Amino acid sequence: MLMNMKELLKVAYKHNFAVGSFNVANSEFVRVVIEAAEEKNAPAIIQIHPNEIELVGDEFIAYVREKCRNTKVPMAIHLDHGSSVKDVMRAIRNGYTSVMIDASHASFEDNISITKEVVKIAHDVNVSVEAELGTIGSNEGSSEGGADEILYTDPEDAKRFVEETGIDTLAVAIGTSHGQYKHAGKPKLRLDLLEEINHRVGIPLVLHGGSDNKDEEISQTYLHGIAKINLSTDMKSAFFGEMRRFLTEQQEAYEPDVIMPSARKAAQKVVKQKMDLFNSTNKAHLYFS
């Protein structure tokens, strides 16, 4: 079942769980996410970054829509880190049900005005909008960008930002970074700050850079307003790690063996663990009652 993200996250926010939002850049990952979601009976989001749409091409979204429409679980297709109105328009034309506009690098006032413009366009055609305030860090191996230094989201700014823009969901900076914390120190999430932001804004919040954080910390976030957790690195590392192992071992491998169930399974294992961790396992029924 394909729906917009506002509807998807409303239920998660109310019932204190977070929906995993997984970056895909080929059909293998679409299968990974959908099969895991159906097995876990969990809602899920497939998200595509502007870099990823360059890899797969616009036509790919017709396939993703068809797959999502045929699932038994609630799904949304979301633009990850759109950086311009052009990115957003392209996503809407392609059939995404949700978009992110990330103007967090701009001044506060500019962020408000760009985001407002996107909200106007998207809401007219029933597409939900995520925006970002504060800056999420960037680690090695991430193509998603982010800042060298994290600027934490200010709760009072968040309140004004949400009120003025009319967004459906807000990505907050509370100490996470994109990518893997290989060399950088693992951050401690500012749960106190999250609690305060949630208290002030009252809309579902989004955690970016959900890979590689401590499980005990992640499992606190959805008790304080996080309704969507973005995940890319952990899932992709599992997939490509297994792919490398398989191809090294099986030098003669060719299709169909090389379209490896083992790599898909390795990634699926991670996705399913995350669904348990985010408390979204067995929550699909909440959307049908």
Interface residues with Zn ion (CB under 5 A) are 208
Instruction: Tell me if 80 sits within 8 A of 206, measured CB to CB.
Output: no
231 is in an annotated binding site: yes
Instruction: Tell me if 21 sits within 8 A of 45, measured CB to CB.
Output: yes
Q: How far is the CB of 108 from Zn ion (least distance, A)?
A: 19
Q: How far is the CB of 252 from Zn ion (least distance, A)?
A: 39
Is residue 187 within a helix (H) or strand (E), and if so which, with residue range? none
179 is in an annotated binding site: yes
Q: Is the peptide bond before 187 cis (omega within 30 degrees of 0)?
A: no
Give 21's strand partners. 45, 230
Q: Please classify residue 191 by burial: count the beta carbons closer than 10 Å to its beta carbon, then call 0-12 exposed, 13-18 middle and 19+ buried.
A: middle
- Is 80 a residue of the active site? yes
Q: How far is the CB of 249 from Zn ion (least distance, A)?
A: 34
Of the pair 113, 143, the CB lying nearest Zn ion is at 143
Instruction: Report the residue closest to Zn ion, judged by CB.
Output: 208
Q: In the numeric block, which tokens belong to residue 90?
A: 């392209």
Active-site residue, from 80, 154, 168, 234? 80
What 3-state DSSP class applies to 68? helix
Of the pair 116, 208, the CB lying nearest Zn ion is at 208
Q: How far is the CB of 178 from Zn ion (least distance, A)?
A: 5
Q: In the numeric block, which tokens belong to residue 84?
A: 């311009």
Of the pair 83, 220, the CB lying nearest Zn ion is at 83
55 is in an annotated binding site: no
| Nearest one of 19, 45, 17, 43 to 224, comparing CA atoms | 17
210 is in an annotated binding site: yes
148 is in an annotated binding site: no
Of the pair 11, 229, the CB lying nearest Zn ion is at 229
Give catalytic residue positions: 80
Q: Return binding residues for dihydroxyacetone phosphate.
A: 179, 209-211, 230-233
